[in-house]
Structure 1
Amino acid sequence: MKITLLLLYLGAFYNALWHKNGRLLVASLVGFIVITILSIYIEPFMLIFGFTFADLLGRAKSKWHIGCGILAIAIMFLTVMYLATDSFLQKESQVLVPIMMFQLVLPILIYFVEKSKNLQAELADVNMQLVQQEERQRIARDLHDTIGHTLTMIKIRTELTTKLIDRDPSRVKQELDDILATTRTALKQVRELVSDMNFISLQTELVHCKQLLQSANITTSLHNQCPQIVLSSVEETMLALCVREATTNILKHSQAKKCHIIIQYHTGQYTLIMKDDGIGLQQKGFGNGIHSMKERMHILQGYATINSHTPTGTSVTLTLPIQDGKEPTS
């Protein structure tokens, strides 16, 4: 009999250790039953083994499972104290009550500790994305400073060569050779600067941002009213980075409970709106992230609008002009 109960206990512990769904709850209930039997027939203080499953219950994904487990712990202790000691006033019961209270609280403590760890992991992920975003901004500046300068040189030397065709044909070949060398330099610079820049899917970024917001207990809805519009790689990447920046601002500053993301099309304008019900930006002002969004949309000949005149939330509107041939068909 004891060997059978021991095997049941070990089997329940093994299943509870590797699962966080309903199997964890079932395994914990089996473990509590085994502990109850052993405590009644062998030693009431074997209830201390309940800490094993109380700790694992705190890692359950469902609050309902945690609540059921806590109820099972209370029933286990009350049953043992009643049947094994015959009275709640005896010495054993006075010692077991504090143990019971700690086991009842332990799953809740573990739950909040795990939740805090998950939020820290999510924030670390967001911070990593911001670092990557800053690196992309650096690369964009390098593109402007280096490639822009090189292309300007090519333009000037090409104009000079055009004039030399009639005045000094002997110098034309030398100038063309110089232009070719400069062009090769520009190509090399482009390869070096954009080798680390990857395409970012807008749809993937929206799904990821929705998951981040929901993990922070911000209810998020996403309504794409024009999924048939096909954007260029540059447009998708820029919009995705703006969405990422807006999501970071919501997580860090808004204290919001809800966020609505709407994508729509009207009269040649592709619009993405992110609106939260937080505290607004009256106390925070416009930071570098918002300026970055405005700069990115300006590059696309669009614009970013941030509306935070009231303390009832912030609305970020990203507007992009749609080229001919990209409009949604009716």
Structure 2
Amino acid sequence: MKLRLPFRLFPENMRHFGFIWIINMTIPLYYLLQLPFQKAWIGYAAVAILAFAFRQALWNTEGRLVYALIQITSVAILGYVYNPSFLYFGFYCIMAIGMLPTVRKVAFTVAYMVAAFVLTLYLFYQKAGEAVHLDFIPSLIILAILPFAMNSHRKAEQLRKQLRSANDEIERLIKNEERQRIARDLHDTLGHTLSLITLKGELVERLIPHDPERAVQEAKDIQATSRTVLKQVRELISDMRAVHLADELRQAGQILSSAGIGFETAGDAKRIRTSPVVMNILSMCLREAVTNVVKHSRAKHCKVELMEKAGSYVLKVHDDGVGIDGAGSELGQAGSGMLGMKERLSLIEGTLEFSKREETGTTLIITVPNVVKRQQTEGNR
């Protein structure tokens, strides 16, 4: 059983514009109603055919060329039988022409339209015994150019959609591959070692009553093995892709610029050398801070400053807006965001400080440990 869709006059993307175009088609009726029916019936028929072909061309992709030619012919008949000013309804035709799939079809239809309208002007003024008026020539040139511009814009939009779709698919495949890689690494890294720890634990349990000294040695082997596992897990996490602060700064600049907020940076984020976990948390805190600036501060300018101190990195986000409650007592998103940042930073022994002054604005100071430098220092000891 074939599913019947509800009838719609125009495609969804046209919304109310399609009705505006149809209403404008009633303008010739004002002129035709002043004529006797014997003279006006051709005009009524031409307007009805034009409206029908206009609507069908929007839906019927396979027959779009035919409906475009029908529209052009209807407009030419109106111009020849009644008045050349009706040729301005050729602007209805260019929508269907611009939607044709190939440039060759667009060029053919435009050539047909130009030839039909030029012939209409010539025959009308020959019939009226007047010299051909040239005031329609500029509009005819525009009618000839617009379909190519519309066709080019439509194809560019299709390419952008295809590119977005391809990028989404690539991102999905990368995520799946990353998940599979992590699963393989975890299985290869932890599976055998955890099985070994389980076996040794059972062995220790059996040895304690009979051979305590060997049980102690086996327990020490379990501790050494567990440390090795912990080191392998840390290396695995460190090998995962992290969100770099430099990329997040670029994104922050785009967001602030879109909100009409001036953006300034100080310090080189590319020089940061820390673990992926710290980098991720620092980047997420920056994102949350910038979001709060855009949503709540009503600021005109924002400055992000990055500094390196003894054993730590300091990230300052300053804006000249009205600020928020530093204690997070507000029930809005800003307070929740502050609490979320504090919770993330507590995982890596980081801190969040907040200051607000009416004359200078609001400043967030985020401090995170330089894990890499700490490890190097401890290693030298």
Is the radius of gyration larger for structure 1 or structure 2?
2
Which of 1 and 2 has higher RCO (CA within 8 Å, sep 6+)?
Answer: 1
TM bracket (short chain): 0.3 to 0.5
